[in-house]
Chain A
Amino acid sequence: MPVTLTSPHTTGAQTVGRVMAWVLAALIPGAVVLIASFSWGYGINLVLAIATALLAEALMLKLRGRPVGFFLKDLSAVVTAALLALALPPLAPWWLTVLGVLVAIVFTKHLFGGLGHNPFNPAMVAYALLLVSFPMLMTTRWANPDLSLSIVETLGIIFSGVQPIDGVTGATPLDVYKTDVDRLVAAEILQSPVFGNFVAKGWDIANLAFLFGGVFLLYKRIITWHIPVSLLAGLGLMALLFSWDADLRTPLSLHLLGGATMLAAFFIATDPVSAATSNKGKLVYGFGIGVLIYLIRTWGNYPDAVAFAVLLMNFTAPFIDHYTRPRVYGQSKAVKGFKHDG
């Protein structure tokens, strides 16, 4: 009768599947806003990406001899796919999304050992690779919030390869501001319809919706505050230092509510697998991403910089870990570095 089972004999109710489900739930408000203000393309991409991800995940699990049903239930592939779909331009051709998901799931996740073993954020690796390989598609297929297409027309653009007519697509506000600031002053730049009445038409509400979802995750204790807060602080500090003159550089408001900032702060940078470990480490890591986002957005060649900033900090995460171990109970100071003395 009695079997040898060791303590603890009980566990809490949390499972990986549940954690991922909460993350997906928290993405819903942002996704709805994106679809409503820009394009059905986000919705179509979400479905397409998730389906591809599940197939790819199942295939890879099978090839690697892992229990397929058990791991599909953890929903981690779905989260990766959803993040990528929400980050890609909504009117990109279908194969771009599929290719991105395959890169994320097959190469970045499974070839590194599957769930929990990827040193890099899969969605961001895919995004960066697509951006480098298909810069045109990745920058010209953003939807114009003032001219929304029907679901059928959107499907046509995504799947049939027809070129969207002029006016359907448009540059992102971050892009517009960056190109225009060289020759115009702020007041003139903001005449452009992409900025709308508040900060950046459509984007501002979407960012607030992602912020809302993120706060929900904090409340549910799925994530801790360290990465989002330090990321926003890093970005904010840089913007205050270098963007105080809106006539010279993109202002703080646009940095915070313009691009994929909130999505990055609460959902992408917080991917625990590839982030720094300790609370202190997370502060350094998040701050680094924030600073890099500003640097790349301002002086780099790409309008948005989340993917590169996150990937660069992924590189540094193991190093950060060595120097940010918490002080352990009873120790007078934390053990730092690579050597053990004792």
Chain B
Amino acid sequence: MNASALIKTVPAHRFHGGVHPPEHKVESSETPIEAMPLPSLLILPLAMHTGIPADPVVKPGKSVCKGEMLAEAVGGISASVHAPTSGRVVAIEDRVIPHESGLKVPCILIEADGEDAWRSRHAWPDWQQRPMDELLSRLRNNGVVGLGGAGFPTDVKYRNKHKPIHTLLINAAECEPYITADDRLMRERAEEILKGAQVALHLLGAETLLLGIEDNKPQALAAIKQAAELLHQPLQVCVVPTKYPSGGERQLIELTTGQEVPAGGLPSDLGLVCQNPGTLAQIYRAVVKDEPLISRITTLTGGAIERPGNYEILIGTPIETVLNHVGAHLKQADRVIMGGPMMGFALPSIDAPLIKTTNCLLVPTRKELPRPMPDNPCIRCGHCEQVCPAGLLPQQLLWAAKHRDLESAQLHSIDACIECGACAWVCPSQIPLVQYYRYAKGEIRQENEEYIKAERARARFEARQARLEKEKQEKEARRKARAEAAAKAQAKKKAEGAGDTAQDDAIKDALARAQAKKQGKTDTANETSLADLEKALELAASKVKKANERLVAAEQDAPDMANALRKAVTKLEEKHQQAQKALDEARNKEPSA
């Protein structure tokens, strides 16, 4: 078997714009991955992923084994949480998590016992023989989420494919400066990555495995190629030039396939699923070896860190512990960044734990990444436009955001902005452009929500109005009918005088009784159907609420998913309104008291 038959090189396309910030990769890429020692306390947030927080299945005081489930996934989009080592659950309480907001959320606290004793694991070397459903449950029960971005639950990604998938794209571009976690992983554990890819291909029913990698990682590429040979795994390789943000999902898809993900759509619309090497390795561990996601490779780097490099760290290790281990001089830095310098965020507190999505902790010295200078006004030089990978006009977006002209922001397709920061990087006026866009996006989201709310209120109001109107008309009609009947009766009485009324009355009574009986029957019938309708309405309402909750969560970290969810919410809302209408109509039919 020769190399060319198995491994095919495909030419790279181009994407618009992009920038070349200093790479700062070698600081961390040249030393092997090192395991971080066991911490004494671990903090495990119930929500380290996009979606609904996991539900605790342990109580304080319980002893747990390494890998034992602490909290299980609930609902559609969720991921379970596991004990990273053996020990005791000491508390379930609110702790600060690595999020820009600095909010405290529920976390499970584990005191390590130092044994690091595993729970029983059931390896599936024969995973290919297992039904799909079992494989997917394995992912879910082992808490696997995307390790590159927002932590989207992997099983959901594979379950929700609405289009046939033909290609699995490995996103190995890793274009953010400083970060080398995937690079190192590929160099050292290429086989695991490809075995994970085989599981993913199987789950997706895809044939093609495509690797998109920047040309600054030749050793990683060589390792992957070698592993592919070893595993007889056909592989297409697309080496893309080093340019930020080539690792943006949409940009890498454009680079490797020449296609663009349609606006508002997902890569699966093109028959593609994108996954980064770290996630693939974890898929392998979870499905084949039955190891839950309890540790990850994180790049620790920056001028203020004495021993930068890539470390294998247990999820839940307090960031302070992590930084102490590598000798971080926090006095030299004025921020600790989770993620890279282009898209990462400054941690509000280092008390927060390392979570499933912490791919990098960057502690730059003040000189390395100085505080922003005061910004000049936009001189409309257009440098931002030349580098925007989404093809936007950042200067126009800035204008719109500054003037709170949301209409204009949407005209300029602000929702296509991936917040890569390339525009802000080149801006000679040093304008924090991305901050403006986030603000405008938030405003638009809020306005949309308000609009939906107002629409709902309007619909309710109109329905009520219509019902009242109808009731009034019916009442009027009945009154008229009664009056007419009375008039007729009177006229008849007058004409007949005092005839054989006794008999007449008897018949009338009987008729009336029959009528009443009938009425009663229809009344109960009406009631049962009313109850049904009310139940249906309640169900619809709760569905809308749940979908909305999920939407809010998704909008924070998975804009891709948010679009799909938004559609779903609108649909559910329609259903809700229909139910409301049906109920109203039924109530109208009810004879008024």
**Interface residues, chain A, CB within 8 Å of chain B?**
1-12, 14-16, 18-19, 70-71, 74, 76, 114-117, 221-222, 224, 272-273, 275, 277-279, 282, 321, 325-332, 335, 338-340, 342
User: Is residue B21 contacting chain A, with contact meaning CB distance below 8 A?
Assistant: yes
Main secondary structure of the interface of B (DSSP, over half): loop
The answer to whether B428 and A8 touch across the interface, beta carbons within 8 angstroms, is: no
User: Is residue B262 contacting chain A, with contact meaning CB distance below 8 A?
Assistant: yes
* A10 touching B21 in the complex, CB below 8 Å, given contacts A2-B336, A2-B350, A327-B391: yes
Q: Once bound together, how far apart are the Cα atoms of A256 and B396, in whole Å?
A: 33
Q: Once bound together, how far apart are the Cα atoms of A330 and B416, in whole Å?
A: 8
The answer to whether A15 and B428 touch across the interface, beta carbons within 8 angstroms, is: yes
The answer to whether A8 and B342 touch across the interface, beta carbons within 8 angstroms, is: yes
Name 10 extra pairs, CB < 8 A, besides A15-B373, A328-B390: A1-B334, A3-B334, A4-B102, A5-B335, A8-B421, A19-B381, A74-B376, A277-B396, A328-B391, A329-B254
The answer to whether B419 and A7 touch across the interface, beta carbons within 8 angstroms, is: yes
Nearest chain B residue, comparing its CB with the CB of A279: B385
Q: Nearest chain B CB to A114's CB is how many angstroms away?
A: 7
Of residues 322 through 376 on chain B, the ones whose CB sits less than 8 Å from some CB of chain A are 330-331, 333-337, 339, 341-350, 364, 369, 371-374, 376
Residues in chain A near residue B81, CB distance under 8 A: none
**Interface residues, chain B, CB within 8 Å of chain A?**
16, 19, 21, 100, 102, 177, 250, 254, 260-265, 330-331, 333-337, 339, 341-350, 364, 369, 371-374, 376-383, 385-386, 389-393, 395-396, 407, 410-413, 416, 419, 421, 424-430, 432, 434-435, 438
Residues in chain A near residue B426, CB distance under 8 A: 11-12, 14
Residues in chain A near residue B21, CB distance under 8 A: 10, 12
Q: Nearest chain A CB to B414's CB is how many angstroms away?
A: 10
The answer to whether A7 and B344 touch across the interface, beta carbons within 8 angstroms, is: yes
Residues in chain A near residue B383, CB distance under 8 A: 14, 221
Residues in chain B near residue A7, CB distance under 8 A: 339, 341-345, 419, 421, 434
Residues in chain B near residue A340, CB distance under 8 A: 407, 410-411
Residues in chain A near residue B265, CB distance under 8 A: 330
The answer to whether A329 and B416 touch across the interface, beta carbons within 8 angstroms, is: yes
Ranked nearest first, the 8 interchain pairs of A and B with the lowest CB-CB distance are: A8-B421, A116-B377, A330-B263, A14-B428, A272-B380, A328-B413, A9-B341, A329-B390
Residues in chain B near residue A327, CB distance under 8 A: 391
28 contacts between A and B (CB under 8 A): A1-B350, A2-B335, A3-B334, A6-B100, A7-B421, A8-B341, A8-B343, A9-B341, A9-B364, A9-B369, A11-B426, A12-B21, A12-B426, A14-B426, A15-B430, A16-B428, A76-B379, A115-B377, A116-B378, A116-B379, A275-B380, A278-B393, A325-B412, A326-B391, A329-B389, A329-B416, A330-B265, A335-B412
Q: Nearest chain A CB to B387's CB is how many angstroms away?
A: 10
Q: Out of B262, B336, B346, B382, which one reaches A224, CB within 8 Å?
A: B382
The answer to whether B380 and A329 touch across the interface, beta carbons within 8 angstroms, is: no
Q: Once bound together, how far apart are the Cα atoms of A114 and B379, in whole Å?
A: 10
Q: Once bound together, how far apart are the Cα atoms of A277 and B381, in whole Å?
A: 9
Q: Once bound together, how far apart are the Cα atoms of A117 and B399, in whole Å?
A: 11
Among A275, A326, A335, chain B packs the most CB atoms within 10 A around the CB of A326
Nearest chain A residue, comparing its CB with the CB of B379: A116
Q: How many A-B residue pairs have CB under 8 A?
A: 171
* A277 touching B410 in the complex, CB below 8 Å, given contacts A330-B250, A330-B265: no
Nearest chain B residue, comparing its CB with the CB of A1: B330
Q: Once bound together, how far apart are the Cα atoms of A2 and B429, in whole Å?
A: 25
Among A70, A275, A330, chain B packs the most CB atoms within 10 A around the CB of A330
Among A2, A74, A326, chain B packs the most CB atoms within 10 A around the CB of A2
Residues in chain A near residue B407, CB distance under 8 A: 340
Q: Nearest chain B CB to A226's CB is how many angstroms away?
A: 9
The answer to whether A329 and B260 touch across the interface, beta carbons within 8 angstroms, is: yes
Nearest chain A residue, comparing its CB with the CB of B433: A8
The answer to whether A11 and B382 touch across the interface, beta carbons within 8 angstroms, is: no
Residues in chain A near residue B380, CB distance under 8 A: 116, 272-273, 275, 277
Q: Once bound together, how far apart are the Cα atoms of A221 and B385, in whole Å?
A: 13
Q: Once bound together, how far apart are the Cα atoms of A249 and B377, in whole Å?
A: 45
Q: Once bound together, how far apart are the Cα atoms of A74 and B378, in whole Å?
A: 12
Nearest chain B residue, comparing its CB with the CB of A117: B377
The answer to whether A5 and B371 touch across the interface, beta carbons within 8 angstroms, is: yes
Q: Nearest chain B CB to A306's CB is how many angstroms away?
A: 20
Nearest chain B residue, comparing its CB with the CB of A71: B376
Residues in chain B near residue A115, CB distance under 8 A: 376-377, 379
Q: Once bound together, how far apart are the Cα atoms of A8 and B433, in whole Å?
A: 9
Residues in chain A near residue B429, CB distance under 8 A: 15-16, 116
Residues in chain B near residue A12, CB distance under 8 A: 19, 21, 425-426
Q: Once bound together, how far apart are the Cα atoms of A329 and B379, in whole Å?
A: 25
The answer to whether A2 and B389 touch across the interface, beta carbons within 8 angstroms, is: no
The answer to whether A18 and B342 touch across the interface, beta carbons within 8 angstroms, is: no
Q: Once bound together, how far apart are the Cα atoms of A3 and B396, in whole Å?
A: 29
